[in-house]
Structure 1
Amino acid sequence: MRKKILSMLLFALPTLSFAQELTIDQKIEEKFKPFADAVSSVVFYPISIVGIDVPIVVILLLSGALFFTLYFKFSNITLLGVAIRATSGKYDDVDHNSVDEMAGDPTPGGDIFETVKADGVIGEVTHFQALTAALSATVGLGNIAGVAVAIAIGGPGATVWMILAGFLGMSTKLVEATLGVKYREVGADGKIYGGPMYYLRKGLKEKNLGGIGKVLAGLYAVFVIGGSFGGGNMFQANQAAAQFKQLFDIESGFIFGIVMAVLVGVVIIGGIKRIGRVTEKIVPFMAIMFVGASLIILGMNFSIIPEAMGQIWDGAFKQTSVVGGLIGVMIVGFQRAAFSNEAGVGSASIAHAAVKTKFPASEGIVASIGPFVDTVIICSMTALVIVVTNLRSNLFTYGNLDSKSNVLLNATNQPINGVDLTSVAFDSAIPNFSILLTVAVILFAFSSMLSWSYYGIQGWTYLFGKGKVADITYKALFLVFVVIGASSTLGSVIEFSDAMIFAMVFPNIIGLLLLAPKVKVELARYLNAIGHKKPK
């Protein structure tokens, strides 16, 4: 294992040497852009629908989500109550203890003396901590910036399709989190190792597809490492630093990156237990702050809400000139939701695998809440606030894009990005909200880096072995990239990193489709244990 780590470090030395020049943006673009473009063009290869290029990966995500929703008989709706109760700890006694039948029991399944109670559940975090750790990776800048651009480009109607895609994604999360727990491994030190790498290798081996499973698992591990360094780290640090620099009118983000790296390091050194303890406090605070501010704005504009809802409904189901009509609006909404909640990417199953439970499906059901909170609640709140404030203040014209750069323009035809648009929308109702938005962006970025560091190290240890050397090596590299991300403008690196994240979809979805029957068995087993009516 040490030889593997040494080889990896030798391979990484040119990259780290090169990183010393990362503040010179033009050199980064010149040397890295061709490679980033090549990777991105493969992962995000598009199919043209009504004149709109839609990446195949998004179609795959949505198709998989629709299949799982039908296959599990709309569990995203029928089991929502169970998910909430399980998250709150109502079924913890069932999750942590079980009644196993003794040999020769004449009344199997009964609760009389012929049975024995078995304890000793494995796991490192609670249902709630696992959920917040997973949510911290998806509830982030996409909710603040990405949704704003999607609504501005696709029109108010994109909101409806975004919500629908969020509901469908709940079913996918149920499948991947259940498999994450079912096929997890426990290290000698008691740490949990799980996620797509393990259910692809072990699950497909059970179906006599061991060779394919190993290849897919290895590819996934590589992709999750790349995604953790880039989209889950550098992009987050870069955008947080950008908001910080804008608010305080400073040029360099280096010091900010150092401080952020120290804070991240203090948390991730403690592993998933400390990450869980931190995210269970940060994520609810972030959600309450953002949703609370949204509700204040909606309350201040209560009289406009019916008109805004009318625009959203009409835009979703009636022909419009924005982005190619009804199908175009639908695509924009679906695409935004898919990129926001990451259902099908498989990353969340890594965090959910660490939960304390004897029933894999218990965490699958809890995980299904993720897309509901991320997309159905938070993204929808952002969209509704923007539609309402635009009605009142005429901030921009839907679909008003620069013909050359394809960048959104505001009411005075000046370029505006997603964070700026959200900031303007909130500032128009709550003076100086941009200060709170900066805090939100930094917290979103911080929590995302925590979870992605855990995802990345799981891929790292899968490839290079479980041990302190591998652990420290990965975490040191991760913290270096926090500083790099905060100090630089890394357009091509971010493009590459996002491609790595969504490249995870291809091996993951294959595994989910092949292993769905095993999830159905686990789901019936858990529902029977808690006394819930089995799905027919």
Structure 2
Amino acid sequence: MNASSIDQQINHYFDAATGWFVDAIFAEIPITASVGVPWVLLVLLVGAGYFTCYYRFVNVRHFLTAIRVVRGHYDDLEKEQPVTVSESVSTVSGDNPDTVRVEGAGEVTHFQALTAAISATVGLGNIAGVAIALSIGGPGATLWMVLVGLLGMSSKFVECTLGVAYREVDAKGTIYGGPMYYLKKGLRQKGLKRLGGVLSVVFAVMCIGGSFGGGNMFQVNQAFKLFEYVTGGSDSFIHGLGWLFGLVMAILVGIVIIGGIKKIAKVTDKIVPFMVVMYILAVIIVLGMNASAIPSAFQAIWEGAFSPEGVVGGFIGVLIQGFKRAAFSNEAGIGSASIAHSAVKTQHPASEGLVALLEPFIDTVVICTMTALVLIITGQIVPGTTLTDEEGVILTATALETGISWFPYLLSFAVILFAFSSMISWSYYGYQAWSYLFGRARRTEYVYKTLFCVCTIVGAAATLGAVTDFSDAMIFAMLVPNMIGLFLLRKKVREELLRYLDRVRAKLKG
């Protein structure tokens, strides 16, 4: 068996194993005789809209407060009142309460938690997803994508507030948090112990699958496809050797993830700002070279958003394709980001919820809009066409190439960094879910991390379509237990928000 045939064998078995699951997750609800929307996307959109209204537009009203928290303006609030026991933890007999002391309440700063979570969201969805959305709905699809991002800020606020409120701290000070814990503990406090137990296990299983799929195989697959493209395509030295690219990435990822969230945060708080700034600068240069066309691009976005093509192809199309990619990117409502945010150093859960709402804004509102402008201005989008994920990445590379010929190489480097940072963050998400199910022993940790690295090799070798479908299915399946929990625990989040805002107002008055 030659080296390239290894890829073919991996593809055959992977396709056969994932088809039925993908069909179930993306079953469509008919809107018209010819248009249907996957039920999971409707749940995300309706839930995000509900939380935006329930918390009185927290995504807008407290946006500046969120920025101030990240910048450390309210760090002194953490020192005003010593905390010995987390208020949110039940002290039911047999359940040891979490001791969350001020000096050990978390492992990373607000900024590090934000970058760790952003590293798992900003990236490939902003590159391929935008091109796909615009190819279906035209320039007007951009406006609907931005709307989805703004609403998603509220969902992210809710889940990350709960992640901190119900986290656990072990004897070594290691943080364990996320939907598994707030589903179990929060619903038990509401007298729904059995439901909470079932939902927490379902989420953990799906999160593990999501970490292997969307957080790993999809990332490395697109990184490999673009790297292959810029190095010659079918004539590239690495053509047909995806497994080799995956092996190199697996080694690099393995070196980082052994160190846990502190090591991951130290990497992401350097890589994320660098890669985001690098990508944005590339986009700004292209936009600057075509500055005269920017007003007409915004006009096309506005007019297209309300045309039949923009509404049907854009709104519905973005939900089916663009939002499918955008939600896959910013993960609002999925619950994954709350795992990273749970490790923050704070005794005020709502403070981190506010920090977290910045993610969809950065990811979808800012970066996706800039990518859309480049695609529109450079004339790369042909409305009514259907792009694959691989074509979406290459189309964005081509758009950047119109500015400077070597930009595709820069994008290739950026995509590899995007993929790498997403993979190390998702390995943390997956391990948290794995430890919830199988315990926190060192042996179980190494079993998970070994499997994660093996999936990196598989993902680089598999066909993109198979990886994408499996990735979407596993990640979107996480929303079912998570959204149930967010709705049932919504009052707890409101209490935490009001408590924190009272502290902030008192500080400002003082």
Q: Tell me, yes or no, if the aligned pair for 1:204 and 1:212 is still in contact at 8 Å.
A: yes
**Who is 1:504 aligned against?**
478
Could you say what secondary structure the match of 1:54 adopts?
A: strand
Instruction: Please state if 1:339 is matched with 2:313.
Output: no
**Deviation per residue, 1:391-412 (Å, 9 max, x gap):** xxxx3421134xxxxx47xxxx
Q: Tell me, yes or no, if the aligned pair for 1:241 and 1:256 is still in contact at 8 Å.
A: yes
Letter in 2 for 1:476: T
Q: In the aligned structure 2, how far is the partner of 1:434 from the partner of 1:227?
A: 29
Q: In the aligned structure 2, how far is the partner of 1:93 from the partner of 1:131?
A: 19
Q: In the aligned structure 2, how far is the partner of 1:367 from the partner of 1:529?
A: 19
Q: In the aligned structure 1, how far is the partner of 2:66 from the partner of 2:428?
A: 24
Q: Tell me, yes or no, if the aligned pair for 2:113 and 2:265 is still in contact at 8 Å.
A: yes
Instruction: Please state if 1:255 is matched with 2:244.
Output: yes
Q: Tell me, yes or no, if the aligned pair for 1:69 and 1:168 is still in contact at 8 Å.
A: yes
Q: Tell me, yes or no, if the aligned pair for 1:62 and 1:338 is still in contact at 8 Å.
A: no
Instruction: Please state if 1:384 is matched with 2:341.
Output: no
**Deviation per residue, 1:481-529 (Å, 9 max, x gap):** 2222223436435422321111000000000000000000000111111
What is the CA distance between 1:29 and its match in structure 2? 4.7
**1:255-334 equivalence runs, <5 A:** 255-320=244-309, 324=312, 327-328=315-316, 331=319, 334=323
Q: In the aligned structure 1, how far is the partner of 2:507 from the partner of 2:155?
A: 21
Q: In the aligned structure 2, how far is the partner of 1:286 from the partner of 1:189?
A: 33
Q: Please, what TM-score do these two structures have when normalized by structure 1? A: 0.85
For the structure 1 residues 326 and 421, does the alpha-carbon distance in structure 2 shift closer, same or farther, using more than 3 Å as the test?
A: closer
Q: In the aligned structure 1, how far is the partner of 2:353 from the partner of 2:424?
A: 21
Q: Tell me, yes or no, if the aligned pair for 1:96 and 1:121 is still in contact at 8 Å.
A: no
What is the CA distance between 1:470 and its match in structure 2? 1.2
For the structure 1 residues 325 and 245, does the alpha-carbon distance in structure 2 shift closer, same or farther, using more than 3 Å as the test?
A: closer
Q: Considering only CA atoms, is the larger Rg found in Structure 1 or Structure 2? A: 1
**Who is 2:495 aligned against?**
521
Q: Tell me, yes or no, if the aligned pair for 2:83 and 2:102 is still in contact at 8 Å.
A: no
What is the CA distance between 1:339 and its match in structure 2? 3.0
Could you say what secondary structure the match of 1:47 adopts?
A: strand
**Who is 2:461 aligned against?**
487
**Who is 1:360 aligned against?**
349
Q: Tell me, yes or no, if the aligned pair for 1:180 and 1:194 is still in contact at 8 Å.
A: yes
- In structure 2, which of residues 404, 413, 427 is the aligned counterpart of residue 453 of structure 1? 427
**1:75-154 equivalence runs, <5 A:** 75-98=58-81, 119-154=102-137
For the structure 1 residues 278 and 31, does the alpha-carbon distance in structure 2 shift closer, same or farther, using more than 3 Å as the test?
A: closer
**Deviation per residue, 1:372-401 (Å, 9 max, x gap):** 0000001111011111111xxxx3421134
Q: Tell me, yes or no, if the aligned pair for 1:46 and 1:56 is still in contact at 8 Å.
A: yes
- In structure 2, which of residues 178, 181, 194 is the aligned counterpart of residue 198 of structure 1? 181
Q: Give structure 1 stretches of 5+ with no counterpart.
A: 1-19, 102-117, 402-406, 409-414
Q: Tell me, yes or no, if the aligned pair for 2:11 and 2:461 is still in contact at 8 Å.
A: no
What is the CA distance between 1:99 and its match in structure 2? 6.3
**1:156-167 equivalence runs, <5 A:** 156-167=139-150
Could you say what secondary structure the match of 1:530 adopts?
A: helix
Could you say what secondary structure the match of 1:120 adopts?
A: helix
For the structure 1 residues 342 and 326, does the alpha-carbon distance in structure 2 shift closer, same or farther, using more than 3 Å as the test?
A: closer
**1:422-433 equivalence runs, <5 A:** 422-433=396-407
Letter in 1 for 2:119: S
Number of aligned positions between the proteins: 483
Q: Tell me, yes or no, if the aligned pair for 2:52 and 2:59 is still in contact at 8 Å.
A: yes
Q: Tell me, yes or no, if the aligned pair for 1:157 and 1:329 is still in contact at 8 Å.
A: no
Could you say what secondary structure the match of 2:505 adopts?
A: coil
Q: Tell me, yes or no, if the aligned pair for 1:96 and 1:357 is still in contact at 8 Å.
A: no
**Who is 1:12 aligned against?**
none
Instruction: Please state if 1:43 is matched with 2:41.
Output: no
**1:405-416 equivalence runs, <5 A:** 407=387
Letter in 1 for 2:103: G
Letter in 2 for 1:422: T
What is the CA distance between 1:215 and its match in structure 2? 0.5
For the structure 1 residues 288 and 531, does the alpha-carbon distance in structure 2 shift closer, same or farther, using more than 3 Å as the test?
A: same
**Who is 1:472 aligned against?**
446
For the structure 1 residues 88 and 179, does the alpha-carbon distance in structure 2 shift closer, same or farther, using more than 3 Å as the test?
A: same
**Who is 2:92 aligned against?**
none
**1:240-251 equivalence runs, <5 A:** 240-248=223-231, 249-250=236-237, 251=239
Letter in 2 for 1:441: V
Instruction: Please state if 1:439 is matched with 2:413.
Output: yes
Could you say what secondary structure the match of 2:149 adopts?
A: helix
Q: In the aligned structure 1, how far is the partner of 2:447 from the partner of 2:79?
A: 34
What is the CA distance between 1:48 and its match in structure 2? 2.7
Q: Tell me, yes or no, if the aligned pair for 1:257 and 1:487 is still in contact at 8 Å.
A: yes
**Deviation per residue, 1:192-220 (Å, 9 max, x gap):** 00000000000000011000100010011
Task: Identify which range, 353-362 or 334-343, moves more after superposition.
Answer: 334-343
Could you say what secondary structure the match of 1:399 adopts?
A: coil
Q: Tell me, yes or no, if the aligned pair for 2:10 and 2:458 is still in contact at 8 Å.
A: no
Instruction: Please state if 1:62 is matched with 2:62.
Output: no
For the structure 1 residues 176 and 532, does the alpha-carbon distance in structure 2 shift closer, same or farther, using more than 3 Å as the test?
A: farther
Percent identity for Structure 1 against Structure 2:
55
Q: In the aligned structure 1, how far is the partner of 2:83 from the partner of 2:247?
A: 52
Could you say what secondary structure the match of 2:384 adopts?
A: strand
Could you say what secondary structure the match of 1:59 adopts?
A: helix
What is the CA distance between 1:189 and its match in structure 2? 1.9
Task: Identify which range, 254-263 or 227-236, moves more after superposition.
Answer: 254-263
Letter in 1 for 2:19: D
What is the CA distance between 1:263 and its match in structure 2? 1.5
For the structure 1 residues 435 and 358, does the alpha-carbon distance in structure 2 shift closer, same or farther, using more than 3 Å as the test?
A: same
Q: In the aligned structure 1, how far is the partner of 2:35 from the partner of 2:183?
A: 33
**Who is 1:400 aligned against?**
385
For the structure 1 residues 396 and 177, does the alpha-carbon distance in structure 2 shift closer, same or farther, using more than 3 Å as the test?
A: closer
Task: Identify which range, 252-261 or 204-213, moves more after superposition.
Answer: 252-261
For the structure 1 residues 126 and 23, does the alpha-carbon distance in structure 2 shift closer, same or farther, using more than 3 Å as the test?
A: farther
Letter in 2 for 1:281: K
Could you say what secondary structure the match of 1:400 adopts?
A: coil
For the structure 1 residues 479 and 367, does the alpha-carbon distance in structure 2 shift closer, same or farther, using more than 3 Å as the test?
A: same
What is the CA distance between 1:139 and its match in structure 2? 0.7
Could you say what secondary structure the match of 1:431 adopts?
A: coil
For the structure 1 residues 165 and 279, does the alpha-carbon distance in structure 2 shift closer, same or farther, using more than 3 Å as the test?
A: same
Q: Tell me, yes or no, if the aligned pair for 1:97 and 1:120 is still in contact at 8 Å.
A: no
